[in-house]
Structure 1
Amino acid sequence: MRPGSRPHGQRKHTFIEEARRAQIVSAAIDTIAEVGFANASLSRIAQRAGVSKGVISYHFSGKDELMDQVVEQVYSAIAEFVLPRIAEAPDECAALRAHVLAVADYMRGHREQLMALAGIFNGTRTSEGTSSRHRLMVAEPVYQEIEKRLRAGQERGVLRDFDVRVMAVTLQASIDGMFAYWVTHPDHDLEAHAAELAEIIERSARADPPA
């Protein structure tokens, strides 16, 4: 360990340290969105943040830990935006529609964040092409949260009988695909795409009305 450095995660960060970490994370997001994950070196991120590379090394053990923090921060921000809208839905079927539409709303206002997230996921794939640990880090909690709502809807008779893991994976993959297409086709009507996707998901999950 370098002189003057400290072990990461061994004590609570001070307010000033948290502010500096947030500044670095924000710079990392902007840098990855602009130049891609592979070209987003710590030196380049430091330049964007207006600090030395040593400052980043003081707050983060390396690029991996910094990317962990970027992923965690972006997903936390998405959850803070999306979950209240889902909670307002009258039932679990309507919640599926609310989920898709809310994520699309978030996408429109936070394109750089999500481009950075995609850059991290794609840039850290293994040589065998399997998902990066950053994606795996967040995927399972997302699936489990969706599954919980799906089971509740099935128990109440709002949703038909289906494999909740398959539906959770399908929903998340469809949302990821919507964003990926929008990024490569900036003129694509994201609002219309989200509305159509929400209709497809809702219809596929809704329980048949009693005969």
Structure 2
Amino acid sequence: MSAADQGTARADGPRRRAVSPDRRTRQPTEVRRRLILEAAVPLVLEHGVSGVGLRDIARAAGVSVGTVTYHFGGIGEIIGEAVSIEIDAYYRPLGERMLSAPSAVEGLDVLVTGVFNTETDQHWRLWFESWAADAVRAPDTLQRRRYEDWSDRIAELVERGRSSGEFLCDDVAETTVRFSALVDGLALRRLRGAPPLSIDRARAHLRRFLASELGLASTP
């Protein structure tokens, strides 16, 4: 093909033009933020908080580092918000199920099976990674509030059982604190695997504690 023919082909064929910035399709801010947060979670699970950088998150989210820094102040903010989202997804439905159970005793069973099952190891790993990061930066207020809200749901269940006569409990607040501490300790023991702790054994520890703490004739 001659130079003239090539020129004619270029003239007759479709032309690609750069799209001006004001006409480009842009995702809403909340969508971009969510993409970044969702990309961060598996990276933290695989590499830990200390092993993940802004470039890693940007690459996983399919955005530029500039986009990440535009929406977030740093890696600490990303991890904090990602964990808060995960906490909501984990605890909100569990709280609804246990509080809507026909009785408080049945609610306890929902609680025990909900905090330790085949899907919760990821939750605990992410949460402990976040706690480790909090040791070197200011604690995340949003995350702390969600944890407190979860404790309130447990206290609500215990108070329901006490009011109905199903439980014997002198101090609902203290029982809630001890239960939460036991759950956290067992979760850490399970993740460390030294020595190994199965899901069934973790549940059994919780049931024995609740039976003793709440004056139950049998474990929930």
Normalised to the residue count of structure 1, the TM-score between the two structures is: 0.76
Displacement of 1:40 after TM fit? Answer: 1.8
Structure 1 pair 208–182 and aligned structure 2 pair: CA distance change class (3 A)? closer
Work out the percentage of aligned pairs sharing the same amino acid.
21
Of 174, 179, 191, 1:166 maps to: 174
Of 144, 153, 156, 1:145 maps to: 153
Q: 1: CA distance between counterparts of 2:70 and 2:120?
A: 28
Q: 1: CA distance between counterparts of 2:34 and 2:113?
A: 28
Report the equivalent of 1:3.
none
Q: State which drifts further: 154-163 or 17-26.
A: 17-26
Q: 2: CA distance between counterparts of 1:53 and 1:190?
A: 41
Structure 1 pair 73–204 and aligned structure 2 pair: CA distance change class (3 A)? same
1:132 maps to 2:142: no
Please give the secondary structure, in 1, of the residue aligned with 2:50. Answer: coil
Displacement of 1:49 after TM fit? Answer: 2.1
Q: AA paired with 2:157?
A: R
Displacement of 1:75 after TM fit? Answer: 0.9
- The Cα RMSD (Å) is 2.8
Please give the secondary structure, in 1, of the residue aligned with 2:116. Answer: helix
Q: 1: CA distance between counterparts of 2:110 and 2:30?
A: 33
1:104 maps to 2:116: yes
Please give the secondary structure, in 2, of the residue aligned with 1:38. Answer: helix
Q: 2: CA distance between counterparts of 1:205 and 1:96?
A: 12
Report the equivalent of 1:201.
209
Q: 2: CA distance between counterparts of 1:162 and 1:70?
A: 37
Normalised to the residue count of structure 2, the TM-score between the two structures is: 0.73
Structure 1 pair 100–157 and aligned structure 2 pair: CA distance change class (3 A)? same
Whether contact under 8 Å (1:42, 1:56) holds in the other structure is yes
Number of residue equivalences: 191
Q: 2: CA distance between counterparts of 1:84 and 1:122?
A: 29
Of 47, 59, 79, 1:47 maps to: 59
Displacement of 1:27 after TM fit? Answer: 1.7
Please give the secondary structure, in 2, of the residue aligned with 1:160. Answer: coil
Report the equivalent of 2:126.
116
Q: 1: CA distance between counterparts of 2:27 and 2:63?
A: 18
What stretches of structure 2 of length at least 5 have no aligned partner? Answer: 1-25
Displacement of 1:56 after TM fit? Answer: 1.2
Q: State which drifts further: 166-175 or 83-92.
A: 83-92
Displacement of 1:61 after TM fit? Answer: 2.9
Q: AA paired with 1:112?
A: Q
Residues 147-201 of structure 1: CA deviation (Å, up to 9, x unaligned): 1222222122111132112111121122222221221229945331243034213
What stretches of structure 1 of length at least 5 have no aligned partner? Answer: 1-13
Whether contact under 8 Å (1:101, 1:194) holds in the other structure is no
